[in-house]
Structure 1
């Protein structure tokens, strides 16, 4: 397959005119005037790397914590229609038995992939978090950070855990970071940590922050908080939910400008209600109500999102975020956070042919995954 006459994001995420040749599941050539069988005219379109969602609980009625291949398969199939070609199914703060079952299924889906977006590993949002900042996480299932317990989960699952969220101020938190950071990304999340505690956590090995601003201490001119610590430490990357509901557009502009294009990671944090009509749903064993696309618990607490990365990229572009940074934050930056930047995340010869073709309005015209066109919206 050859994609002709496209405007592509090259390996440096600069927009330029080029053709892309695909052989098997790989990008084989990038240049001008490429010829071959199965040429497809992409005039007027922009070609982006496939989107990578490293924090997603569920969509279309399915959830990672369902602990079934059917659930992961439904998620994988739907995500491709939205341009997401790789993802990390994400657990909630639920009983350890349920986390173990979910990890077992994620591993099975990595070894025997269902049709759809590639399953790239698991993300554990909890259970080692702060009860005071639990958000939509179930308090009864919160546990103290226990690095030995985590190591058992990691080994039992075959090392598929890519991210583990935790609150460093909890008893044993800093020790947990030191022992666990060699295994996977440790992420600051659902935390009461002040500026000093967060900085200490970064020194001990945290390099990632879960949904910046949400469920953590904010930035105040006399109390910088966890948000201030993130802005003040260039070694840390931060997730942002860019649905326009979790974070106001003005704050998104400030954050993207402050963090720079290599430290921003767009996530959906979506739940099973994503891709479904408004109404009653569920997240982490708790009842959720969705109205106008906004998910909340009975007490009004925000409960994840119903968005997807493609919608969020469009939101960011409309909000004035540079296109280059928006695309990079949905592709290369998340790929780097899970150690797959040599395989996915950018348009380069030798990388997997995961591509999203968008028109001038940034609507998806087609999706290519593993070298095959799997979605055509034209």
Structure 2
């Protein structure tokens, strides 16, 4: 398959008018526009040829939740895969909630056969273990009864159950034993600061000892103020990447723009943090065993606490652009950066020869007209 004359988004985060050849499940080559010819061609002139979106923080979509797999069923993940693929999300990290070790163990055992396997849609690339090592004061929509201090032995057991597929683990760095946990866990996966009341100094210590990521910046952490910069200030100094939910609900559009200005396009990861109501009508749903009510894109617990999002990453990307983020910056934050953050950039996240053929053709409204996952068009 030849994608001709498109505006190709390169690994440098810039557009280049070029032809792209897909062969099998790989990107065979990227060549000057008009130079490649084949039996199957798509004229991408005036359109964007981009990597598939990479969502490293997503709980659910299309009525399904990653953690529903606790009953041993893989159908919930497959439902998510199909929906995400249809939106242009080609890789994702199944994200957990704060649960007991027994529940998490059952989830990881159930989904283990699906990691990195071809699917009818987006590929499950691993686990984002969001919880249970949190500060109860910043629990957000996490169930308090499951929240505990960092437990290295528990994490090791879950790591084994997952087959080494936990790619990201979250922790509040001010908790007892957290710094030692971060030091050890960072040898196995990306460690992120999350659901925390940490001071600037406590967050700095976490980054100094191996944390490199920050979960849904501004949400479930102290406010960023001029005398107490907190986690946000420490992240600005030291974090390799920060996540941001750019649905226009979790953060004001001005804050979305400000994050890119403060951190630069190279350090921001757009995420959905979506739950099962994503892609579904208004109504009652659940997250982490708690009731969630979704109304026009706003998902909340019964007490009004925001409970994840109901917006797909593809739409979060489009909204970031609508809010004034440059197209190249928003696209990088939905593809290159998240792939780098969880160690997947060698395989995906950019339109580069030799990488997996997860490629989108977007129209001028940034809607996908063609979606290739592993070289196969949906």
TM-score by length of 1: 0.97
Post-superposition offset of 1:111: 6.0
Partner of 1:244: 248
SS at match of 2:132: strand
Kept in 1: contact 2:116–2:124 (CA 8 A): no
Partner of 1:39: 41
Measured in 2, the distance between the counterparts of 1:104 and 1:237 equals 29
Partner of 1:97: 102
SS at match of 1:154: helix
Partner of 1:24: 24
Correspondence list, 1:203-222, <5 A: 203-222=208-227
Alignment of 1:278 onto 2:244: no
Alignment of 1:345 onto 2:349: yes
Selected match of 2:269 from 227, 242, 265: 265
1:110-144 C-alpha deviation (Å, 9 max, x unpaired): 26544211111111100000100000000001111
Post-superposition offset of 1:156: 2.2
Measured in 1, the distance between the counterparts of 2:37 and 2:367 equals 27
Gaps (5+ residues) in structure 1? none
Measured in 1, the distance between the counterparts of 2:12 and 2:274 equals 29
Measured in 1, the distance between the counterparts of 2:141 and 2:89 equals 25
Correspondence list, 1:318-329, <5 A: 318-329=322-333
Kept in 1: contact 2:167–2:342 (CA 8 A): yes
Post-superposition offset of 1:277: 0.2
Partner of 2:66: 64
Correspondence list, 1:189-204, <5 A: 189-204=194-209
Partner of 2:7: 7
Q: Which moved more, 1:80-89 or 1:100-109?
A: 100-109
1:289-346 C-alpha deviation (Å, 9 max, x unpaired): 0111100000000000001111111111111111111111101111111111111000
TM-score by length of 2: 0.97
Selected match of 1:316 from 308, 320, 326: 320
Selected match of 2:236 from 231, 239, 260: 231
CA distance change for structure 1 residues 112 and 315 in 2, over 3 Å: closer, same or farther?
closer
Post-superposition offset of 1:106: 2.6
CA distance change for structure 1 residues 112 and 255 in 2, over 3 Å: closer, same or farther?
closer
Measured in 2, the distance between the counterparts of 1:101 and 1:298 equals 28
Selected match of 1:287 from 281, 286, 291: 291
Kept in 2: contact 1:353–1:368 (CA 8 A): yes
CA distance change for structure 1 residues 336 and 112 in 2, over 3 Å: closer, same or farther?
closer
Post-superposition offset of 1:11: 2.4
Write out the 4+ residue segments of structure 1 that deviate beyond 2 Å after TM superposition: 111-114
Kept in 2: contact 1:195–1:225 (CA 8 A): yes
Kept in 2: contact 1:207–1:236 (CA 8 A): yes
Kept in 1: contact 2:48–2:361 (CA 8 A): yes
Partner of 2:88: 83
Measured in 2, the distance between the counterparts of 1:265 and 1:238 equals 6
Measured in 1, the distance between the counterparts of 2:40 and 2:46 equals 19
Kept in 1: contact 2:277–2:294 (CA 8 A): yes
Partner of 1:175: 180
Measured in 1, the distance between the counterparts of 2:183 and 2:222 equals 22
Partner of 2:127: 122
Post-superposition offset of 1:154: 0.6
Gaps (5+ residues) in structure 2? none
Post-superposition offset of 1:105: 2.5
Measured in 1, the distance between the counterparts of 2:248 and 2:110 equals 32
Alignment of 1:370 onto 2:374: yes
Alignment of 1:256 onto 2:260: yes
Partner of 1:132: 137
Measured in 1, the distance between the counterparts of 2:368 and 2:23 equals 23
